[in-house]
A and B are shown apart, each in its own frame.
Chain A
Amino acid sequence: MLTGMLRKLLNAALLLLAVLVLNFALIHAAPGDPVEALVGEMGGATPEVIADLRAQFGLDQPLYTQIGTYLGRVLQGDLGHSLYYDQPVTQLIADRIGPTVLLVVAALFSAIVIGTMLGVFSAQNRRSVLSHLVTVIALAGFSAPVFWVGIMLILLLSVSIPLLPISGMADSGGAATGLAHALDVAHHLVLPALTLALIYLAFYSRLSRASMLEVLGSDYVRTARAKGLSRRQVIYKHALRNAVLPVVTFAGLQFGQVISGAVLVETVFAWPGLGTLAFDSILRRDTPTLLGILFFSALMVVVMNLLTDIVYRRIDPRIQTR
């Protein structure tokens, strides 16, 4: 088992290196460069200023020198300096990761719990009206564009019924601390988390429903029923434990993709997270920040995959390291 994990770790390191090199090459293959974007945003500049800025950012060096310098720095844990914010990229990511993790964990957690419950329910009562309703709602939530869902929820829960704040992560007027601050953040979290959860909800209810149906038809469940176990025991003790495996896989994978999932929700609700930072960095050609975030997301995916592996073994002892 230990050598297996070691091999996995080595693979992960190689994968991350490949991701770095590939991202670097891809970003530099695109036309335009950070200085042009920066100067455009400033409102224009003379060719001399442009040349100066290029030299300052090291963009006048040949590409292989640039990538060499960059890889060397990353190995020392330095993701470089943002061209736009003029701050270390690690600092930027550290500042923004908190809100994103909060948002995604809240959304994923509610989606998994509620989604799995709905899935299990609709698998048991396959032909009931309620089961069909769950399917329809799930599909609608999955197919509707997330920004549209967000705006509709704002219209419903903030404008028509003024229950929740529209945007931001905390009240801008007061500088609340401690419990008051936590409650304020929770208040602001409801709408974005709900919006994001609606997409995932569809996913998990469909997934757990399908998986539950498959498990319910298997021999050991029939045996359990034949033994005279109660319906509750059969479902929750015997069937669910197996049916939940794909849910765990997807939860792990999706958590690795937090940033891509959160971009739109963060934009609509002005949530100060990593998703908006990534999006802005693309538009601004802030190469170091973008590379940093991409590297960080790759790292997250790898780590989450490893964690999923471990959790898997806990739930299903049959899975052994090959």
Chain B
Amino acid sequence: MFERLTRTLRNAVPIALAATLSFSSALHAEAEDGGTMTGFTTGYRTLNPAVQSGAATGAPGSQIFAGLVSVGADYKIEPYLAKSWDISPDFLTVTFKLVDNARFHDGQPITAEDVKFSLEAVRENHPFGQAMFGNVESIDTPAADTVVMHLSKPVPGLLVSLQPLLMPILPKHVYGDGQPLKTHPRNMENVVGSGPFKVAENSPAERLVLVKNEDFFIPGKPHLDKIVYPLVKDPLTRVLMLEKGEIDYAAFAGIRPNDATRLEKVDDLTVTTDGYGAIGYIHYLELNLRDKPFSDRNVREALAHAIDTGFLSKVIFGGRTVPGTGPLHIGNPFYTADVPAYAADMDKAAAMLDAAGYPVGADGARFAFTLDVPSWAPAAHVPMAEYIQAQLAKLNIKVELRKAPDFGTWVKRISSWDYQATMNGSFNYPDPTIGVHRHFACDNIKNVIWSNTQGYCDPKMDEMLAAAAVESDFAKRKAIYADIQKKVQEDLVFIYMPQDFSVTVFNNKVEGLPASPFGALAPFSDVYLDN
């Protein structure tokens, strides 16, 4: 089913916008116009997704800004601001045709120059800019409605990166004034976008209000008059507001399994795990591979046998998630479950530690280490860390938990490699070149958080990563990623924890939600309220 993504890429079939429009309007023939939908926000420092990753900026950002394409169900690439595109046979030139008469929220036309500006801005400023667009050598704008991207190497993940979350179309006449984009005042004030909704009120301490863009370039869209995002920081308050109907739609809401069970029983609410595949959040135990004992693969394997992730999934996530099998999320198109597994077996773990030269010493311990626990996602990290501590104590390994008081402290420790082990987690993002390669490539061993901080380097792995990055045939690419996932598990680069439990909860009156694996981070042009 995921082959569609590549088929679109490979065959480079230009899809007419008209066809898609008639299809989607047939689907939502009964769509009603008007109404206000209430979501929530946990707070954001910018509304510009070009300089900030994550859901807090991304969810409203994908409504305020349009992208060249949007991503539908099963990663199908659909026309958005680009009505068609053409990929050269050598995969090195991609030509986009823009829709006619598209305008920014201030009435200025959206032209090829804005697209070029936006891609360069993202490449320069977004944390994944280089990973996504580092191989885009140059961009030509032969006409106001034509953008030609010249690539130095094939970029199979190019199209999926061109949706609004990762490459929002910015107005050059606003952001091209020479001020640094990361701290540009217009990221928060008087934001001018290109998407289905405009900013009407932006008071970060209270709420964000978006209103319908009457001049949106897709006729008849969006349906909603207004989307309101009140600031609600407390997860439990959000649950109660959903229950009472004060919030209509909540994604990335930090809802725990037992709260989800409760909300499922509320008549008017739907609870779904859809819409998290493209972001793909992964939990793992990171061991600093530079020093003993974790530089020894057999010690890591012993740990893997000692930690029963199936049990953890049951206890922490109510059995609602899969045990981790590697660096990819189960919703990623390149995921495979066919990897080496390390069954829970304490006797084997003990024997392996003995053989690796870590017998129980005179002080009753094999060895001791400090396990860092980050301040973020405590609902997952703290019980995981405590379970690991208890489980390893049975093997006579002394684990001291060091809970970080705040984000900065933890980041400092890990990014300066000054740690032995830490609970950690990171996002895949739809193409593995964005969120996966960074943890395994030799040249990404950096003093930067969520790089290859553990210090893993293997020429064979580098070779596979390089091949996967430019392979334009989906099936071949998938085979390479299957090998990569196997090797990650064989080498035990990380010890993977259960995959995260994320749900979206919404009121049943909300219809037409995006079927995209981007979920809440996809455009809400088709959303309407059925009253």
Are A267 and B205 closer than 8 Å at their CB atoms? no
The answer for the CA separation of A85 and B130 in the assembled complex, in Å, is 26
Q: A172 contacts B244, CB within 8 Å?
A: no
User: Within the complex, what minimum Cβ distance (angstroms) separates A192 from chain B?
Assistant: 11
Q: Are B230 and A37 in contact (CB under 8 A)?
A: no
Known: A86-B185, A267-B233. A42 touches B244 (CB 8 A): no
- Residue in chain A with minimal CB distance to B236: A151
Q: How large is the interface on A (under 10, 10 to 19, 20 to 34, 35 or more residues)?
A: 35 or more
CB-based contact A272/B231 at 8 Å: yes
Q: Report whether A43 and B205 are in contact in the complex, using a CB–CB cutoff of 8 Å.
A: no
**Interface segment, B384-392, B393-401, B411-419?**
B411-419
Chain B contacts of A85 at CB under 8 A?
A: 45, 188, 204
Q: Which residues of A contact B53 (CB under 8 A)?
A: 42-43
Contact with B along A46-88 (1 / 0, CB 8 A): 1101100100100000000000000000000000000011100
Q: Out of B228, B246, B447, which one reaches A165, CB within 8 Å?
A: B246
* B231 partner residues in chain A, CB cutoff 8 A: 168, 270, 272
B180 partner residues in chain A, CB cutoff 8 A: 56
Contact indicator A172/B228 (Cβ below 8 Å): yes
Residues B244 and A44 in contact, CB atoms below 8 Å apart? no
The answer to whether A283 and B233 have CB atoms under 8 Å apart is no
Q: Which of B230, B410, B451 contacts A270 (CB 8 A)?
A: B230
Q: Is the CB of A95 within 8 A of B205?
A: yes
| A309 lies within 8 A of chain B by Cβ | no
* Inter-subunit contact A86/B449 (CB<8 Å): no
Residues on A with beta carbons closer than 8 Å to the beta carbon of B54: 41-43
Please name the residue on chain A nearest to B183 by beta carbon: A86
- In the complex, A284 has a CB within 8 A of chain B: yes
A166 in contact with B408 given A43-B127, A270-B230 (CB within 8 Å): no
Q: In the complex, how many angstroms separate the beta carbon of A315 from the nearest chain B beta carbon?
A: 38
- Interface contact A44-B451, CB-CB below 8 Å: yes
Q: Which residues of A contact B207 (CB under 8 A)?
A: 168, 172
Contacting pair A44 B448 (CB below 8 A): yes
Q: Which residues of A contact B449 (CB under 8 A)?
A: 36, 39-40, 44
User: Of residues 138 to 183 in A, which have CB atoms within 8 Å of B's CB atoms?
Assistant: 147, 151, 154-155, 158-159, 162, 165-170, 172-173
The verdict on B209 contacting chain A, using a C-beta distance below 8 Å, is yes
**Residues on B with beta carbons closer than 8 Å to the beta carbon of A31:** 408-409, 412-413
**Nearest opposing residue in chain A for B41, CB measure:** A270
Chain B residues with Cβ under 8 A from A170's Cβ?
Answer: 206
Asked if A298 CB lies within 8 Å of chain B CBs, one says no
Shortest B106–chain A CB gap in Å is 22
| Contact status of A41 and B448, CB under 8 A, knowing A162-B244, A168-B230 | no
Instruction: Closest A residue to B53 by CB, please name it.
Output: A43
A37 proximity list for chain B (CB < 8 A): 406-408, 411
Known contacts A39-B449, A283-B375; A167/B45 CB under 8 A: no
Contact A166 B415 (CB under 8 A): no
The CA of A241 and the CA of B204, in the complex, are separated in Å by 45
Docked pose: A158 CA to B448 CA in angstroms: 45
Residue of B nearest to A147 (CB): B234
B232 A270 Cβ-Cβ under 8 A: yes
Instruction: Note all chain B residues with C-beta closer than 8 A to A43.
Output: 52-54, 127-128, 427, 450
Assembly CA distance A154 to B242 (angstroms): 13
Interface residues in A235-283 by Cβ distance below 8 A to B read: 267-270, 272, 276-277, 280, 282-283
**A32 contacts B by Cβ under 8 Å:** yes
- A158–B406 CB distance below 8 A: no
Q: Is the beta-carbon distance between A282 and B406 smaller than 8 angstroms? A: yes
B41 to chain A, nearest CB (A): 10
Q: Which of A155, A166, A173, A269 has its CB near the most chain B CB atoms (within 10 A)?
A: A166
A272 touches B205 (CB 8 A): yes
A280 surroundings in chain B (CB, below 8 A): 43
**What is the CA–CA distance of A177 and B24 in the complex, to the nearest angstrom?**
40
* A270 / chain B contacts, CB cutoff of 8 Å: 230-234, 237
Q: Is A34's CB within 8 Å of the partner chain B?
A: yes
Q: How far is the CB of B71 from chain A (nearest CB, A)?
A: 19
- Name A82's closest neighbour in chain B (CB-CB): B45
Whether A283 contacts B412 in the complex (CB less than 8 A), given A151-B236, A168-B206, A268-B237, comes out as: no
User: From residue B377, how far is it (CB to closest CB) to chain A in Å?
Assistant: 13
Q: How far is the CA of A56 from the CA of B413 in the complex (A)?
A: 23
Q: Which residues of B contact A268 (CB under 8 A)?
A: 234, 236-237
A45 and B233 contact, CB distance less than 8 A: no
Residues of B within 8 A of A206 (CB): none
State which residues 1-57 of A face B: CB under 8 Å.
30-34, 36-37, 39-47, 49-50, 53, 56
Kindly list chain B residues whose C-beta atoms are within 8 Å of the C-beta of A209: none
Quick check: B51 and A169 within 8 Å, CB to CB?
A: no
By the criterion CB–CB under 8 Å, are B205 and A96 in contact? Answer: yes
Q: Are A45 and B205 in contact (CB-based, < 8 A)?
A: no
Determine whether the beta carbon of B36 is less than 8 Å from that of A50.
no
Complex interface bits, B404-448 against A, C-beta within 8 A gives 1, otherwise 0: 001111111101000000000001000000000010000000111
Point out the residues of chain A lying under 8 angstroms from B203, CB to CB.
Answer: 272
Closest Cβ neighbor of A173 among chain B residues: B36
Bound form: Cα–Cα A287–B28 in Å? 50
Could you tell me the distance between the alpha carbons of A169 and B230 in the complex, rounded to whole angstroms?
Answer: 10
If A43-B52, A45-B127, A172-B230 touch, does A285 touch B240 (CB 8 Å cutoff)? Answer: no
14 examples of A-B residue contacts, CB within 8 angstroms? A31-B409, A37-B411, A40-B407, A42-B51, A44-B450, A85-B188, A86-B45, A154-B240, A155-B240, A167-B246, A172-B38, A172-B209, A269-B237, A276-B205
Interface positions of B (Cβ within 8 A of A): 36, 38, 43, 45, 51-54, 127-128, 130, 180, 182-183, 185, 188, 203-207, 209, 226, 228, 230-234, 236-237, 240-241, 243-244, 246, 375, 406-413, 415, 427, 438, 446-451
Going nearest first, the 8 A-B pairs with the smallest beta carbon separation are A32-B408, A43-B53, A272-B205, A32-B412, A43-B127, A37-B408, A285-B408, A44-B127
